[in-house]
């Protein structure tokens, strides 16, 4: 009796792994729904429960693959006959259920269309995700360049009009090891800083700031709503909407700049510039 209890059960092994891999898949799906965009996550060194954006993405991908493999093995080795018999019997039994079949097909086609054309409630769900993603990082901590951590310091200084010579003198005077030909991410890591923390030391040496500095392409403008951009730029919603209206653009606070740009014939960055000025 004791030997029977100790005997290895492949079915139990696969079932347990299915449950565990499903749990990882669900958790990582939720995290990736709310994780900040890469340009912000990498810039600020964002982590959740000790894991960064790439690690959560790896967990999701590998967890999903593990779930698929364990599920297929469980089906093929232990449930194939029962599964196939059930499918055949169900299909035969429900072939006459034409109204239900038609309704199911229409419903699934509708879901696909809602996603493809970004109609509510699909657009609402995606906008919620964008708001949650943007909520992680304060506006002042966001990268002034798309993936600025991957650019050489000399390039960042040139694009942001930073007085590099003065900045280097100051940074080296603080005891930091700085090579302008290395990337910002590399320099920050070598000095125990995040790219955002390192940039905070560079910021005082920018020659221009505020509205004199044009917004850059690749800043994730399309995913921002008029309201969230206003919060980021410290502009109230009524003022943002008024500025757009003055340019002949009717908008709503929850509308993304991407969707608004399609109607107005402008890029999201151009719309952001209109709101900022």
The DSSP-derived string for 97-165 is -HHHHHHHHHHHHHHHHHHHTT-TTHHHHHHHHHHHHHHTS-GGGS-SSTTGGGSBHHHHHHHTTB-HH
pLDDT at 13: 87
Is 117 within the bounds of a domain? Answer: no
pLDDT of residue 208: 60
**88, 156: one domain:** no
In this structure, are 204 and 152 located in the same domain? yes
Whether 49 maps to a domain, the answer reads yes
Q: Are residues 159 and 240 in the same domain?
A: no
Whether 34 maps to a domain, the answer reads yes
Q: Same structural domain for residues 249 and 197?
A: no
Same domain, 204 and 225: no
Residue 194 within any structural domain of the chain? yes
Domain boundary among 154, 183, 208: 208
Task: Indicate the number of domains in the chain.
Answer: 3
pTM: 0.70
pLDDT at 1: 46
- Domain match, 265 and 186 both: no
Mean pLDDT by 10 residues, the chain (277 residues): 66 87 92 87 90 93 92 83 68 66 88 89 82 75 81 89 92 93 93 92 78 59 79 81 88 84 86 86
Co-location of 12 and 83 in the same domain: yes
188 part of a folded domain: yes
Determine the pLDDT at residue 69. 92
Contact 32, 60 (CB under 8 A): yes
Q: Are residues 176 and 237 in the same domain?
A: no
Q: In terms of domains, do 91 and 6 share one?
A: yes
Q: What share of the chain is helix, strand, coil (3-state, %, to 5)?
A: 70, 5, 25
Domain that holds residue 183: 143-208
9 and 91 share one domain: yes
Of residues 50, 64, 56, 49, the one with CA closest to residue 35: 56
């Amino acid at each position: 009796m004791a030997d029977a209890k100790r005997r290895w059960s492949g079915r139990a092994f696969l079932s347990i792994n299915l449950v565990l891999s499903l749990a990882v898949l669900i958790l990582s799906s939720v995290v990736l729904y709310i994780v900040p965009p890469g340009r912000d996550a990498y810039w600020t060194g964002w982590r959740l429960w000790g894991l960064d954006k790439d690690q959560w993405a790896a967990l999701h991908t590998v967890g999903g693959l593990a779930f698929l493999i364990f599920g297929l093995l469980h089906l093929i080795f232990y449930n194939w006959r029962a599964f196939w018999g059930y499918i055949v019997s169900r299909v035969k039994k429900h072939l006459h259920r034409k109204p239900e079949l038609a309704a199911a097909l229409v419903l699934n086609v509708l879901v696909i269309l809602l996603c493809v054309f970004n109609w509510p409630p699909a657009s609402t769900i995606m906008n919620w995700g964008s708001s949650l993603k943007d909520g992680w990082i304060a506006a002042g901590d966001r990268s002034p360049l798309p993936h600025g951590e991957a650019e050489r310091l000399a390039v960042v200084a040139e694009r942001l009009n930073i007085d590099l010579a003065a900045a280097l003198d100051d940074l080296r005077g603080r005891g930091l090891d700085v090579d302008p030909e290395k990337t910002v991410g590399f320099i920050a890591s070598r000095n125990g800083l995040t790219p955002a923390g390192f940039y905070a030391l560079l910021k005082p040496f920018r020659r221009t700031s505020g509205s004199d500095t044009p917004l850059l392409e690749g800043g994730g403008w399309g995913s921002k709503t008029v309201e969230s951009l206003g919060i980021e730029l410290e502009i109230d919603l009524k003022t943002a909407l008024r500025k757009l209206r003055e340019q002949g653009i009717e908008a709503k606070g929850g509308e993304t700049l991407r969707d608004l740009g399609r109607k107005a014939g402008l890029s999201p960055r151009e719309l952001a510039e209109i709101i900022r000025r």
